[in-house]
């Protein structure tokens, strides 16, 4: 079990182990073998930071890298008003700083420039203004901007129905698939083994205090394993002996073919979120949610990532583009490249689940929403805890054994 010094001590220890590994890449900090199960952005970041800290790492992914939530995500990096309470907000701010470090260290492209957000009703707009005031108290350089200032920032956006919007200049966005692949490549360069198409089916103890992972690509004996299995409803119970209550919801993500630059920032408009990547592709995230009826419930039972056929997918894409066209005129004619249904890994109380399973200390859980915003800081702190065997107070609110309240945050 981990002991509990404070966050600064853990980060210092993690930094010390990383610099030891950097000076002498052939010498491992420990010969302990850690498996990371799940090749989404969270597992990729943990594998990278563990390998950087000098651990022996094997990353096991059931299918291909970033083909679940880390593909069907809007990929907005933020610490906005929705990140409540204060400790969770701070954790997301640390996530943003972590992305700056990854950009510097691994040259992962991040498009910074901030976000503009507004709502339809006067009541909600008034609450947004209050929420932005709280953000300022919490150290965000956010502000409410008048229409003229909005036009000055985004000349191609139709703000005619907006009097004021929240500007959060620190926000950014990434290409989540590329970021995952780059993290995995960096882990591999630091000695990690990567196995795709390798599902972990079972975990059994072996006599030497280690565990055997029975996988589709053979048995693997490890000292510890990290479950970064996302929204999979059964993985934590089957592999770590603990049921993590989740309320995963689906969201439709539309990706266009590369377009001339239309927008520079993340547009968080009523009904749709929009940003344009460095490669020119526009990403649209629907906000409406799923219609509440039996036909939809039946269709979604197996948690599909695709619509039943391309005509159906196109129909949904055109519907979402039509909503977006009200805010970014002309976007409706953009050619669609992909339509994907992402399933949010969403623990019941909206907060991450990070730490050892009470049922099996060899199992470490890393399940969360806002996993794009949080991946860098989660990778750093989790690698610090595992490589040094000490617990970070930063993760205290997110431990798996907590009571999961029904408060619907995020
Ligand atoms: C529509 C939508 C919009 C979102 N928007 C944002 C946003 O704007 N900003 C933000 O920060 N977050 C956002 N999120 C959340 C974010 O995308 C996720 O939190 C993040 O992608 C989770 O990453 P992950 O690596 O934990 O999970 P995943 O990407 O789902 O990866 C888990 C992996 O584990 C593998 N796996 C599962 N079981 C096994 C097994 N037994 N053996 C081997 N492999 C296994 C799966 O195949 C999968 O590849 C959004 C999510 C959705 C769905």
Q: pLDDT per residue over 352-409, tens digit each?
A: 999 999 999 999 999 999 999 999 999 999 999 999 999 999 999 999 999 988 766 6
Residue 372 CA to ligand 1 center (angstroms) comes to 8
Over residues 98-117, mean pLDDT: 98
Percentage of the chain exceeding pLDDT 70: 92
pLDDT band at 17 (very low <50, low <70, confident <90, very high): very low
pLDDT of 46 strictly over 70: yes
Closest CA to 247 of 343, 342, 355, 340: 343
Cα 153 to averaged position of ligand 1 atoms, centre (Å): 32
* Minimal-distance CA residue to ligand 1 atom 4: 73
Which atom in ligand 1 lies closest to the alpha carbon of residue 369? 19
Atom number of ligand 1 nearest to Cα 343: 53
In sequence order, what are the residues at sequence separation of 6 or more whose Cβ sits closer than 8 angstroms to the Cβ of residue 273? 74, 76, 266, 267, 284, 285, 287
- Stretch 20-28: mean pLDDT, rounded? 41
Q: How far apart are CA 179 and CA 372, in angstroms?
A: 10
Average model confidence (pLDDT) for the chain?
Answer: 92
If one residue of 72, 371, 409 were mutated to test the ligand 1 pocket, choosing by the most ligand atoms within 8 A of its CB, it would be 371
Instruction: Compute, in angstroms, the gap from residue 231 CA to the centroid of ligand 1.
Output: 7
User: Tokens for 365?
Assistant: 């859980």
Q: 319: which 2 tokens?
A: 């519907």
Centre of ligand 1 from the C-alpha of residue 399, in Å: 19
pLDDT at residue 11 in the model: 45
**DSSP per-residue letters across 4-53:** ---HHHHHHHHHHHHHHHHH-TTS-S---EEEEE--SHHHHHHHHHHHHT
Proportion of the chain above pLDDT 90, given as a percent: 85
**Given this model, what pLDDT does residue 208 score?**
83
Task: Note the pLDDT of residue 27.
Answer: 43
What is the mean predicted confidence (pLDDT) over 135-150? Answer: 96
Lowest mean pLDDT among 17-31, 80-94, 215-229: 17-31
DSSP code, position 65: T
User: How many Å lie between the centroid of ligand 1 and the Cα of residue 42?
Assistant: 7
> Atom 13 in ligand 1: which residue has the minimum CA distance?
370
Q: What is the pLDDT of residue 408?
A: 63
130 SS3 class: helix
Lowest mean pLDDT among 197-201, 259-263, 287-291, 330-334: 287-291
Query: pLDDT band for position 332 (50/70/90)?
Result: very high
Atom of ligand 1 nearest to the CA of 344: 53
Q: Which of 120-124, 208-212, 310-314 has the lowest mean pLDDT?
A: 208-212
pLDDT at residue 140 greater than cutoff 50: yes
Q: Which residue minimizes the CA distance to atom 12 of ligand 1?
A: 370
What is the spatial distance between Cα 108 and Cα 178, in angstroms, rounded to a whole number?
8
Pairing of β 272-276 and β 266-269:
antiparallel
| Residue 3, burial from CB neighbour count under 10 angstroms (0-12, 13-18, 19+) | exposed
| CA nearest neighbour of 41 among 201, 231, 178, 246 | 178
- What integer pLDDT is reported at residue 47 of this predicted model? 98
Q: In Å, how far are 40, 101, 340 from 67, measured between CA atoms?
A: 7, 25, 10
pLDDT band at 33 (very low <50, low <70, confident <90, very high): very high
The predicted-structure confidence for 157-187, as pLDDT tens digits, reads as follows 999 999 999 999 999 999 999 999 999 999 9
Q: Which of 79, 230, 354 gets mutated to test ligand 1 (max ligand atoms within 8 A of its CB)?
A: 230
Task: Give tens-digit pLDDT for 230-282.
Answer: 999 899 999 999 999 999 999 999 999 999 999 999 999 999 999 999 999 99
The answer, yes or no, to whether residue 14 has pLDDT greater than 50, is no
Q: How far apart are CA 369 and CA 388, in angstroms?
A: 26
Cα 167 to chain centroid, rounded: 22
Res 297 pLDDT > 90: no
Distance 371 CA to ligand 1 centre (A): 7
* pLDDT computed for residue 238 by the predictor: 98
pLDDT-based confidence at 9, cuts 50/70/90?
very low
CB environment 113-140: b (16+ within 10 A), e (fewer): bbbbbbbeeeeebeebeebbeebeeeeb
Q: Which residues line ligand 1 (CB under 6 A)?
A: 37-43, 60-63, 67-70, 72-76, 199-200, 228-232, 235, 251, 253, 285, 342-345, 368-373
Pairing mode, strands 211-215 and 218-222: antiparallel
Which residue's CA is the closest to the ligand 1 atom numbered 1? 251
Cα-to-centroid distance, 294 and ligand 1 (Å): 26
**Residue 30's pLDDT band (cuts 50, 70, 90):** low
pLDDT in the model for residue 155: 97
- Asked which of 14-23, 119-128, 149-158, 320-329 is least confident by mean pLDDT, the reply is 14-23
Contact 156, 274 (CB under 8 A): no
Answer yes or no: are the C-beta atoms of 79 and 114 closer than 8 Å.
Answer: no
Strands 172-174 and 193-195: unpaired
| pTM of the shown model | 0.93
**Helix (DSSP H) and strand (DSSP E) numbers for the chain:** 10, 20
Q: How high is the pLDDT of residue 3?
A: 41
């Amino acid at each position: 079990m981990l002991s509990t010094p404070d966050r600064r001590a853990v980060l210092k220890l993690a930094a010390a182990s990383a610099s030891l590994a950097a000076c002498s890449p052939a010498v491992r900090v420990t010969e302990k073998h850690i498996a990371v199960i799940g090749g989404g952005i969270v597992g990729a970041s943990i594998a990278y930071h563990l390998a950087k800290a000098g651990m022996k790492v094997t990353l096991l992914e059931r299918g291909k890298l970033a083909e679940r939530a880390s593909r069907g995500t809007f990929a907005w990096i933020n610490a906005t008003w929705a990140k409540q309470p204060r400790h969770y907000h701070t954790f997301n701010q640390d996530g943003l700083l972590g992305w700056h470090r990854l950009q510097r260290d691994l040259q992962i492209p991040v498009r910074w420039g901030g976000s503009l957000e507004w709502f339809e009703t006067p009541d909600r707009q008034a609450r947004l203004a209050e929420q932005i005031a709280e953000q300022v108290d919490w150290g965000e350089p956010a502000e409410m901007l008048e229409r003229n200032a909005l036009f000055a920032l985004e000349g191609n956006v139709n703000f005619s129905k907006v009097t004021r919007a929240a500007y959060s200049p620190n926000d950014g966005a990434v290409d989540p698939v590329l970021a995952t692949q780059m993290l995995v490549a960096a882990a591999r360069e630091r000695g990690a083994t990567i196995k795709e198409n390798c599902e972990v089916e079972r975990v059994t103890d072996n006599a030497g205090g280690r565990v055997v992972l029975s996988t589709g690509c053979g048995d693997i004996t490890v000292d510890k394993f990290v479950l970064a299995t996302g929204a999979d409803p059964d993985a934590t119970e089957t592999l770590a002996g603990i049921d993590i209550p989740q309320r995963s919801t689906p969201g439709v993500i539309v990706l266009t073919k590369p377009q001339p630059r239309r927008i520079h920032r993340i547009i968080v408009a009523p009904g749709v979120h929009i940003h344009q990547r460095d490669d020119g592709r526009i990403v649209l995230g629907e906000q409406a949610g799923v219609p509440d009826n039996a036909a939809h419930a039946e269709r979604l039972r197996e948690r599909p990532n695709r619509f039943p056929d391309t005509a159906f997918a196109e129909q949904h894409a055109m519907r979402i583009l039509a909503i977006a066209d009200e805010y970014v005129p002309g976007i409706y004619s953009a050619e669609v490249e992909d339509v994907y249904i992402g399933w949010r890994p969403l623990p019941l109380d909206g907060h991450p689940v990070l730490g050892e399973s009470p049922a099996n200390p060899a199992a470490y859980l890393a399940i969360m929403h806002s996993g794009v915003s949080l991946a860098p800081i989660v990778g750093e702190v989790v690698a610090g805890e595992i490589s040094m065997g000490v617990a970070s107070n930063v993760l205290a609110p997110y431990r798996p054994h907590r009571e999961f309240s029904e408060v619907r945050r995020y």
